Chains A and B, each alone.
Chain A
Amino acid sequence: MTLAETKKGRKYQVNSVPEGIMKSQSIRFGIGEGAKIECSQKIPGGPIIVKKNFQEIAISRNLARKIAVEKGDL
């Protein structure tokens, strides 16, 4: 599944992020491949807010569709 299909409040693991600057940037934010994250908020039609520890990142819907995730431990 992709990050765009996640549900609010659930935990996931990031499997892949598209190549390029976005990949580097997401690694810096700590949400790169392998990262365990939580979908903390979904703005209708808009960005997904991802949480890792105390860190919150807004990711546009378009980019979220290209980020593959799988369900993490519940």
Chain B
Amino acid sequence: MECCDIKSVVDIDQDKTQLVIAGNPNVGKSIFFNYFTDTYVDISNYPGTTLEINSGKYHDMIVHDTPGVYGVSSFNDEERVARDVIISADMVINVVDALHLDRDLFLTQQMIDMDKPVIVALNMMDEAREKGLNIDVEKLSRELGVPVVPTVAINQTGFEELEKNLEKAKTGSTCLPENFTEQLNDLNTKTENIGESLLLIEGDEDIKDKYDLEVEEARDEIYRIRREKIDQIVNQVTQRESAETGFKDKLGEWLLRPLTGIPILLLILFAMYEFVGVFIAQTVVEFTEGKIFADIYEPFIRDTVGQILAPGSFISNLLVGEFGVLTMTVTYTFGLLLPLVFGFYLFLSLLEDSGFLPRIAALTDRVLSAVGLNGRAIIPMILGFGCVTMATITTRLLGSKRERIIAILLLGLTIPCSAQLGVIIGLIAPLGMEFFLIYFLTILAVYIISGTILNKILPGKSTDLLIDLPPIRLPGLKNIFKKSGIKSKMFIKEAGPIFVIGSGVVTVMKSTNFLEMLQQWLAPLVESWLQLPAEVSTAFVMGIIRRDFGAAGLTDIAMSPIQTTIALITITLFVPCIASMFIMIKERNWKEAAGIWVGSWITAFLVSGIVAQLF
């Protein structure tokens, strides 16, 4: 990936001082960012990631937010982005969680070693006091060699003090012994700054590629020295009094115990279904898709285009036809997907900021490792029930290529998206428990079997779970809404063009009678092998375009309960919608996407055929 030149990504005035806000995940960086930039905020996407960098102005400085990281290097996307922003920083506000000094000060010390002027905002002082932790702030400042200001971000305590002392930010005392500092000074003539030189010695892959220099690497040694210094500092500046474990601590513990954790997880999933699957997918979407877009917007745009282009022509179909770029694509993207995606991100951010998500990841790690994933994959899996396209993009956070392939395939094959889920539940609920179980267990079996097979045949190894469990906290709603808004916007920006291409392809398929041919070819297979009415094949073919079209197409066909169940199994396992397919091509490549497409055809018909023969 292109790297190390943040200036090409973020539109910045290079003559001005670059103030960077950095810190570990979940320490409240964004509150600081918002405080310092109340005017215009510029959000730029970082190429190849789902990450955005927020930039704004503070007096005559440019302020940048960074993704939360535990250190500066290139182990994952967050780190690459944060690294590039930190390297180009003139001054850093380092937000530190007072409760987690052991962990947070590692990054602080690394940035000090990078020769960056730093000021530390020692945040969450209230929580630290609550837990009986006393911190000698002055001593901490002396040891690090940089100013430290205690803060409580949620009510902006200490922010004025921080603002007043901003100019006092300075380069602190490095932990590196002389042999390394000499090496750094030598390297410095060949790189942009000491920061880059240090990362070279620490063996950062991207920086190594950038310079192509022979450098003796010593990451382990430097990390060890840094850790020793931090441990020493923490011992000297902190004092613990015993404190009682509160409700939040207990809740955190319950989440990790299967006996209590699994019921809580099910409860969360149920709440999510009620909120996203019922409230948003039905009530809200009925209004946005049905009223605003289908009733008001679409007739208007058809009229407008109709005045210029003759209806029925290919171009007119392409623009405002049944699957037109200006009709279906717009309605689909903004009327259906946007509310759903926003709702899902809202829920996910809530889980993230409350500290639930990492615990759910730990709890589900065992199950997911059976299919070659680790607990982190729970995020795309949950998102898949919202929109498989969105979830496929999110698989970028997984640690290895093989994990991404497994997750993308399982998402495409077995996870019904919310658009489809509503229709499926509507059809299967009246049939009774027995048929629901046939449906659910079949899909689950396909999930487990295909995941296990992939885990066996794909070369390499999946990464192990090693995550930090932040304390359970009451999340700030404002922050959650803001975060979800930004993420939804990014999704639309990324997926929007793909939906346009997708609808173009569908219009071409329709005008060449490709879909009808497919239906006719499919009908005998549906009748004899699946023992379903021939017209079901129409629904299946529509499922190629949009999965909910496929499921909805089944509602008007008279079928016995077992036939409905079989048809639903087929439509669930059937190929991902055309937008997901294009995202898969973009995220992986043509070959893998085609493999998943053909594989879904085979799996869907093979599995539901077997069920049809059994019952």
Interface of A with B (CB < 8 Å)? 19, 21-30, 32-33, 41, 43-47, 49, 52-63
Query: A43-B366, A56-B469, A58-B469 are known contacts. Are A29 and B103 too (CB-CB below 8 A)?
Result: yes
**Is A30 a contact partner of B469 (Cβ separation < 8 A)?**
no
Q: Are B70 and A58 in contact (CB under 8 A)?
A: no
Once the chains bind, are B70 and A54 in contact (CB under 8 Å)? no
A43-B362, A54-B100 known; 4 new pairs, CB 8 Å cut-off, are: A32-B223, A54-B471, A62-B369, A63-B465
Is B448 at the interface (CB under 8 A from chain A)?
no
A64 → chain B closest CB, angstroms: 9
**Looking at the complex, which one of B71, B73, B224, B465 makes contact with A58 (CB distance below 8 Å)?**
B465
Determine if A21 and B369 form an interchain contact, defined as CB atoms under 8 angstroms apart.
Answer: no
A58–B362 touching, CB < 8 Å: yes
- Least CB distance, A50 to chain B, in whole angstroms: 10
For A26, what are the chain B residues with a Cβ–Cβ distance below 8 Å? 466
Which residues of chain A come closer than 8 Å to B256, judged between CB atoms? 41, 43, 49
- In the bound complex, CA of A23 to CA of B358 (Å): 20
B226 nearest CB neighbor, chain A only: A27
Interface of B is mostly: helix
Check if A32 sits within 8 Å of B469, measured CB to CB: no
Whether B468 sits at the interface, judged by CB under 8 Å, is yes
15 sample A-B contacts, Cβ–Cβ < 8 Å, listed by A number: A28-B70, A29-B102, A29-B103, A30-B227, A41-B256, A43-B257, A44-B258, A46-B363, A47-B465, A49-B362, A49-B469, A53-B100, A58-B358, A59-B464, A60-B365
Q: In the complex, what's the smallest C-beta–C-beta distance from B151 to chain A, in angstroms?
A: 18
Residues of A within 8 Å of B75, CB to CB, are: 21, 24-25
Judging by beta carbons under 8 Å apart, are A63 and B466 in contact?
Answer: yes
B363 touches A29 (CB 8 A): no
A28 touches B465 (CB 8 A): no
Whether a CB of chain A sits under 8 angstroms from the CB of B375 is yes
Residues of B within 8 A of A (CB): 70-71, 73, 75, 99-103, 106-107, 131, 133, 219-220, 223-224, 226-227, 230-231, 234, 238, 240, 252-253, 256-258, 358-359, 361-363, 365-366, 369, 374-375, 464-469, 471
A58 with B103: CB separation less than 8 A: no
Which of A26, A58, A61 has the largest number of chain B CB atoms within 10 A? Answer: A58
B361-A58 in contact (CB<8A): yes
Distance between Cα atoms of A62 and B131 in the complex (Å): 32
Nearest chain-B residue to A58 (Cβ)? B362
Known: A25-B75, A27-B223, A32-B227. A43 touches B465 (CB 8 A): no
B103 touches A62 (CB 8 A): no
Which residue of B has the minimal Cβ distance to A53? B102
Rounded to whole angstroms, the CA-CA distance of A56 and B355 in the bound complex is 12
Please state if B366 and A28 are interface contacts (CB–CB under 8 Å): no
- B71/A28 in contact, CB under 8 A: yes
B residues within 8 A CB of A46? 362-363, 365-366
Task: Give the residue name and chain of the B residue nearest to A29 (CB).
Answer: B103
Q: Is the CB of B258 within 8 A of A63?
A: no
In contact, A25 and B471 (Cβ under 8 angstroms)? no
Question: With A46-B363, A49-B469 as given contacts, are A28 and B220 in contact (CB-CB < 8 Å)?
Answer: no
**Cα A26 to Cα B220 with chains together (Å):** 11
Contact status A58-B365, CB under 8 Å: yes
Which residue of B220, B240, B252, B358 contacts A24 across the interface (Cβ within 8 Å)? B220
The residue that A54 contacts in the complex, of B133, B361, B362, with Cβ under 8 A, is B133
B103, A28: Cβ atoms closer than 8 Å: yes
Closest to B100 in A: A55
CB-CB < 8 A to A55: which residues of B? 100, 102-103, 468
Please give, as numbers and ranges, the residues of chain A lying within 8 Å of B99 by CB-CB distance: 54
Top 10 A-B residue pairs of the complex, sorted by shortest distance between their CB atoms: A46-B366, A30-B102, A63-B464, A60-B465, A58-B362, A56-B469, A60-B464, A28-B70, A27-B223, A54-B99
